[in-house]
């Protein structure tokens, strides 16, 4: 089924991980955060203390990095046991800006280093410069941050094959991760295969399609078959397809539910049913028009 789960190297409480090309292991299940009410202090503390979550995904754009610092401190989970990802917003692209923005994110998060730093979006929006030019300049700063150990791994988000091909020509280090929308209606298998062929770990956000997948008859039927919830079916499907998966919720009971996906396995025929639901529907950004 295309999984590369490393059962030998697990996150705490048995969460499996996937190996990055630099030898680090990223937990396959994380907790996403977001802007517009997408943050709850109590939910993050609960996820860390009670659910075994060790992978937290955030971004400068979400505006909750400093809030996460408080939640992590309150959880008493050791920094070395955590995987913290944040992202560089396009207003900070460019060589010097990128390095400064990274240090500012570290300060807001209360950490000395990031486990993963991502270029958030392929559109640079810099007047007088091409996107490719700015992405290359930005990525050189990411490489410097990686070589200095401020970022233990570096990657991109919402990058398609053409963006990754340009980066390959312009820069030295291949991204360790590409984080892209991934759910039953949006399964960009060509991009997944491209990333796998270049040892780029594929990470999927919006695994529930912002709730739209939860009412689909196929998902409901499989939930009944396995005695699980529709959300658990979607998350398990994503993980079985070898995707690092980061559902987000502000509700404690939902986070608990989203973590209970390692005690069952979807049959190959059932994975194929969900794979067949792909229709190219986006519930988030569509980067296909960005050159």
The catalytic residues are 62
Q: Is 120 known to sit in a ligand binding site?
A: yes
Please, are residues 188 and 210 in contact by the beta-carbon 8 Å criterion? no
Pairing between β-strand 201-205 and β-strand 177-181 as defined by DSSP bridges = parallel
- Which structure tokens are listed for 238? 């994503």
274 by Cβ neighbours in 10 Å (0-12 / 13-18 / 19+) ranks as buried
Between CA 140 and CA 146 the distance in angstroms is 10
Between CA 95 and CA 56 the distance in angstroms is 26
Transcribe 117-135 into DSSP letters.
EEE--S----TTS-HHHHH
Report CA Rg, the chain: 18
Please, are residues 162 and 170 in contact by the beta-carbon 8 Å criterion? no
Annotated binding site: 120
Annotated binding site for substrate: 120
């Amino acid at each position: 089924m295309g999984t590369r789960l490393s059962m030998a190297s697990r996150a705490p409480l048995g969460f499996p991980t996937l190996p990055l090309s630099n030898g680090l292991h990223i937990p396959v299940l994380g907790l996403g955060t977001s802007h517009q009410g997408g943050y709850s202090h109590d939910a993050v503390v609960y996820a860390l203390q009670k659910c075994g979550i060790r992978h937290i995904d955030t971004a400068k754009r979400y505006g909750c990095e400093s809030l996460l610092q408080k939640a992590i401190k309150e959880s008493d989970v050791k920094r070395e046991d955590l995987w913290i990802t944040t992202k560089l917003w396009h207003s900070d692209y460019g060589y010097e800006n990128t390095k400064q923005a990274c240090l500012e994110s570290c300060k807001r998060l209360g950490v000395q280093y990031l486990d993963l730093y991502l270029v958030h979006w392929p559109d640079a929006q810099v007047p007088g410069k091409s996107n490719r030019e700015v992405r290359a300049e930005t990525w050189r700063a990411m490489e410097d941050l990686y070589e200095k150990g401020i970022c233990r791994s570096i990657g991109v988000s919402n990058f398609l094959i053409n963006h990754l091909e340009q980066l390959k020509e312009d820069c030295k280090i291949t991204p360790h991760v590409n984080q892209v929308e991934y759910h039953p209606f949006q399964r960009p298998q060509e991009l997944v295969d491209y990333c796998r062929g270049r040892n780029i770990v594929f990470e999927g956000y919006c695994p529930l399609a912002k709730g739209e997948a939860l009412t689909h008859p196929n998902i409901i039927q499989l939930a009944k078959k396995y005695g699980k919830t529709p959300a658990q079916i979607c998350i398990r499907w994503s993980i079985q397809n070898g995707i690092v998966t980061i559902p987000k919720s502000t509700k404690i009971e939902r986070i608990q539910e989203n973590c209970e996906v390692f005690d069952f396995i979807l049959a190959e025929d059932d994975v194929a049913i969900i794979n067949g639901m792909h229709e190219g529907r986006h519930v988030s950004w569509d980067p296909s028009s960005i050159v």
